[in-house]
Structure 1
Amino acid sequence: MSDWKIGDDRRRRTTDQLRHLRRANEGQVHWDTEAPADFTFLFHPDHLLVDAEDVDVFEEAVARLDKGVLSEPPRRDDVRLLDGALVRYVLPTRQGGETVPEVLDLLEEAGLPDGAASPDHWVHVSPGGGGGAACPAVEPEETGLTDPWPPIEPQEKGDEVSVVVVDTGWHPPAATDPRTPWLKGVDGDDENNGAHLRPYAGHGTFIAGVVRCAAPRTRIFVEGFAVDGVGGGGILESEMLLQLEEAMTHDPQVINLSAGCRTWRDRPSKAFAAFYRDLLKGSDCVMVAAAGNDSWAAPFWPAAFDWCVGVGSLDRDERVSSFSNFGVSADVYVVGRNHVNAFPDGTFTCHETPNKGDVRVFGTGMARWSGTSFAAPLVAGLIAREISEHGVSAADARTAVLKRAVRDSDPTIGPVKELRRPYV
């Protein structure tokens, strides 16, 4: 996995992340470029996703494909997605070594309609330099602060609102720790932290803390997709769909997803589109997602969907953070730099350039972290608070919160909509 163009910390960091993700998933992570630091999307080397309604045209195109490409027809996987509404195929060995995107190109030449099939992309919570990542923008840092920042916004009245944080899992001791009382009552899938903290440990707990500080009267469940360190902080979009199905069983009014992905040809993610079509669209629930940390305007899914609230990051000076994505993936911007919130105690060894090998000791129940990962739950909390205090639907709460955004212009990216609270 050499990178002949590597030459700065950002590129080295991206390469470090991909090496970690690939090791954690036994080689099931491929990308679209020779140099890993240049990647735009990550995908499973053998999976294709097809909507059930397109299965016939897909299989017809496969039958027309040159017999020298596939040694046998693709196999329908036994994983059941949205009760069969989305089908995952497993490609056999390609005699010419064709990648999934190359097979899709050949299938479209054979008559497969545009968009009928897609790679199974990797959704990830790490930062990126290429584009398959989301957040955070840095690894967690120690802090001597004992109070969260942005601070807790007291709330005396309002109904309880259900929020599901779909993330790396939950650190149960935080719910009873006297140092983090704002997390009392939060529950979720235990990420089973030990004395040595794995990469991405505490990510979901930190995000739950951001939501609670903005909206104290929330019932939060952290739906974990990378508990026990499985996956290296990443998950296939088809597997993410299963996690989102689980999330909906908690009857959420707001879902926060601080993760995402770029896709082949920048087409909308099939898994997230199917989730909206079959589950989210008919519910009283809003999804909020991080815009990503790649400093560019290319679509980042699910934040780029018009039904999802995509959130970019601001610094305290009200300018867009240098790491934040912008454009179609960011409907609104809010502070995402240098948040302070709950984090597990333990020893953390950095695995990314330029701090690779640096040992950080966390013993205060808190950490400092930056990224659109942490801007997103602030907006999720504001929407939940609007529902709680005014008894409105999730959709109306989303509209009300976004209407409070102030139009401004950032010299590097142009017009933006910013949510400015007292802490910005």
Structure 2
Amino acid sequence: MAPQRFHEQFQHIQRALPDIPLTMGPDDSAGFLYEKGVVLVRDGEEAPFVEDAVRTHFTETQGLVPDHVRREGPQTGRTGVTRIRVGDPTQGEDTVPHALHAVRQAEDRRGRRLAGRNHVMHIAVNACPGDEPVPVPRAGSANPAPAEGRYDPATAVGVLVVDTGLVHDHRCYPPLAHTTGDAQCAETDADGVLRQYVGHGTFIAGILAAVAPNTDITVRGTLNDAGAVLESEFGALLFEAVDRDGWPDIISLSAGTPSEDADGLIGLEAFMWELRDQRTLLVAAAGNNGSATPFWPAAYAALPEYAGSVLSVGALRADGEGGACFSNHGPWVRAYAPGERLTSALTGFRVPVPYVYQHSTYDSCRFGPDAYSCTCQYPPHTGVLSEGLTSTGGKPDQVMFEGPAQWSGTSFATPVVAGLVADRMTRYRERDPRAAGAALLAATADRAEVRGARAPALRPPTWRPVPAAIPALPV
């Protein structure tokens, strides 16, 4: 992913989390975000062992006083992790890479990773946006269009969407008439302008309901705060989401983070262990970095112990024939589904709401020499976060939302696949969501070209390709 947009988003997330000093990894590139001066370890004997190893290393090599390295309480309980402060984040270079290096030899002896960064977990259009939403005429139709079928509360498949909350008028969008959950916090700013990421969870729920009408969809606003939360807190928030209503058939999660670690995230370990012992299928977005670097928790799908419980989803481009330029890819991505220029609910139909674009489009694809009319370029607009905009006297583009929207990202390919699994459960009276997911993948012979590989492609019957000729952005 080109650093420009990543850096713009970094500043936005840092403003939303002002009390948490953040930095980028691994080298100020468009990789991941994490908390400065803190590492995560497991509770129990590993926490004091890591604390002592880091303290000894820093005392001997950098002359830091022992108080600079300390466990921070209270511990996080059910998630089984402890924060260890490894330096003052306001003073000079971040000490986290040095601390992780200090425990590397101990990890080699013990045969597993003992410490990790405290990553920022974010919705998949947050630190790596595919694009921003585009208004669709009020009379515009959904894509995917609503499938035939009826909602039967006695047989409906339970789907939990962990995301931003529901906009207040979501029930004005017919497919969401019986969707429940948390309200979206602070939909507009002091000037009445729609905030960035508002409607993300509502958009996802609209896609799910269109693909699988016989679903009980619950949307939890776990990521209402700018779509970002620290890894040390995310595991507990996921537990809270499933505890409120019980483990559902399917969790649709369009959030995560890249990481240098190849065996998952310490902060999610306890949740993933419990998930593994349930019947729930986690359908997770692969992320929008245009990279093969694993994006967690979607990448758990490639670990043998989680293979049946996690289904990772990448995005197809608008014509459905190949991978979207922004989509992450690699052997850890199990399937691809339409995720570019889908149409669903962003706001209801009552009062038009203005939105100001945050990012500018590019002259060419920011992920490489892709030859199609991708969302990097079209529809063209100028964003308020663009460097030099104020100095040149330019103004960001503003549009009005009063109904459906068109949006792109693996965030939205994910509910397509979650919906296809739920629909299969209804049609075949399948009670096991993991068996339904495995059968769905086994039954599809469709393939799409993704970065030189032929990958499984799941295209809903009611989805239609979007023409390459993209109209100008409405103003």
Common fold by TM > 0.5: yes
Whether the 8 Å contact between 1:314 and 1:337 is mirrored in structure 2 is: yes
Whole-Å separation in 1 of the counterparts to 2:252 and 2:457: 19
Equivalent runs, 1:184-333 vs 2, <5 Å: 184-192=177-185, 193-194=187-188, 195-227=192-224, 230=225, 232-249=226-243, 250-251=245-246, 252-277=248-273, 279-306=274-301, 307=306, 308-315=310-317, 316-333=319-336
Instruction: Measure the CA separation in 2 of the matches of 1:111 and 1:284.
Output: 33
Structure index of larger Rg: 2
Q: Does 1:183 align with 2:147?
A: no
Matched, 1:348 2:355: yes
Distance 1:226 1:392, change over 3 A: closer
Contact 1:31 1:40 in 2 (8 A): yes
Provide the secondary structure at the position in 2 that maps to 1:44. Answer: strand
Q: Give identity over the alignment, percent.
A: 30
Gap regions ≥5 residues in structure 1: 1-8
Deviation at 1:100, TM superposition (A): 1.1
- Answering whether residue 85 of structure 2 is matched by residue 90 of structure 1, we say yes
**Matched residue of 1:147: which SS?**
coil
1:402 to 417, 421, 441: 441
CA contact (8 A) 2:448 2:457 kept: no
Q: Which residue of 2 aligns with 1:116?
A: 114
- Matched-pair contact (CA < 8 Å) for 2:71–2:82: no
| CA pair 182-408 structure 1, distance change in 2 beyond 3 A | closer
Residue 77 in structure 1 maps to residue 67 in structure 2: no
Question: Does residue 1:22 correspond to 2:14, yes or no?
Answer: yes
Equivalent-residue separation in structure 2 for 1:111 and 1:374 (angstroms): 38
- Where in structure 2 are there 5+ consecutive unaligned residues? 362-381, 385-395, 465-475
Query: What residue is the counterpart of 2:410 in the other structure?
Result: 372
| Structure 1 contact 123–261 (Cα < 8 Å) conserved | yes
- Who is 1:336 aligned against? 339
| In 1: Cα distance, 2:159 partner to 2:251 partner | 6
3-state SS in 2 of match to 1:304: helix
Other-structure match for 1:146: 140
- Post-superposition Cα deviations, 1:15-34, rounded to whole Å, max 9, x if no partner, equal 21111112221252211255
Aligned residue pairs total 401
* CA-CA distance at 1:380 after TM superposition: 0.8
Query: What is the CA distance between 1:120 and its match in structure 2?
Result: 0.7
The answer on whether the counterparts of 2:107 and 2:114 sit within 8 Å (CA) in structure 1 is no
* 2:124/2:409 contact within 8 Å kept: no
Answer whether contact 1:293 1:323 (CA < 8 A) is retained.
yes
Counterpart residue type for residue 359 of structure 2: E
- The amino acid of 1:374's aligned partner reads F
Q: Does 1:47 align with 2:41?
A: no
- Equivalent pair of 1:77/1:89 in contact (CA under 8 Å): no
Distance in 2 between residues matched to 1:116 and 1:256, nearest whole Å: 29
Question: How many angstroms does 1:79 deviate by?
Answer: 5.0
Question: What is the DSSP-based 3-state SS (H/G/I as helix, E as strand, rest coil) of the residue aligned with 1:260?
Answer: strand
Shift of 1:317: 3.8
Other structure's SS at 2:120 match: strand
Q: Which stretch shows the higher mean deviation, 249-258 or 383-392? A: 383-392
Instruction: Give the root-mean-square deviation of aligned CA atoms.
Output: 2.5
Deviations 1:378-397 (A, max 9, x none): 11111122233313212111
- Residues 173-193 of structure 1 show CA distances to partners (whole Å, capped at 9, x for unaligned) of 112x1xx11101212221232
307-316 vs 367-376, which moves further: 307-316
